[in-house]
Amino acid sequence: MRARFPDFRLGKVLATSFTATLTERRGNAVERIPTPQRLVDWLAVNGLAVESCTTAQLELAWELRESIHAALTAAAIQGALPASAVQVINDCSIQGRAAAILTPDSNRRWRLSSASSVEDALGVIAADAISIIAGERDGKLALCASPTCQAAFFDTSQSRTRRWCDMNTCGNRQKKARFNANQRKNPGSAK
């Protein structure tokens, strides 16, 4: 039955993968974690598995997500960070009690304080957002060029000239739109 929910957009950066659980914010928004179970699914895919999630925990996750979105957007345009968003991010970071564990094959794994601690998982996500906004990581914050998206993303390309949050969705759509516009101008040109 889970297939009726929108797919996740998976990226390499935890904080922006999380903000991408709501897409098309400037168009017809798509909520990709509409239920507590879908948040559980998303956390599992992102190495933060929990056994359960309450409605209140989902609401906290949404609040953190939109706070990260607001802060990343402000940081991308070198604007002042919204104080309320910073507060939510810091509160979530402080509440989380996840521990980084080094595995024998040299990977980092997160250990949460309990199987139902969504707060621990959110703390890890909040800390990830903090490290990006603080400029600790190699990359540049930018806003997606798609007018219906404008999501903040973390550009780690060598040239730092990425235009879209996601090449397979926003990037592709833009290319198709340009192609269709050309078709209308020159109907016989591409057979």
Q: Which residues bind Zn ion (CB under 5 A)?
A: 144, 146, 149, 151, 165, 170
- Cβ of residue 19: shortest distance to Zn ion, in angstroms? 11
- Is-contact 152 69, C-beta < 8 A? yes
Which is nearer to Zn ion, 110 or 154 (by Cβ)? 154
- Cβ of residue 22: shortest distance to Zn ion, in angstroms? 12
Q: Could you give the CA distance from residue 167 to residue 173 in angstroms, rounded to a whole number?
A: 9
Which is nearer to Zn ion, 118 or 149 (by Cβ)? 149
- Cβ of residue 25: shortest distance to Zn ion, in angstroms? 9
- Cβ of residue 82: shortest distance to Zn ion, in angstroms? 21
Which is nearer to Zn ion, 85 or 151 (by Cβ)? 151
Which is nearer to Zn ion, 127 or 165 (by Cβ)? 165
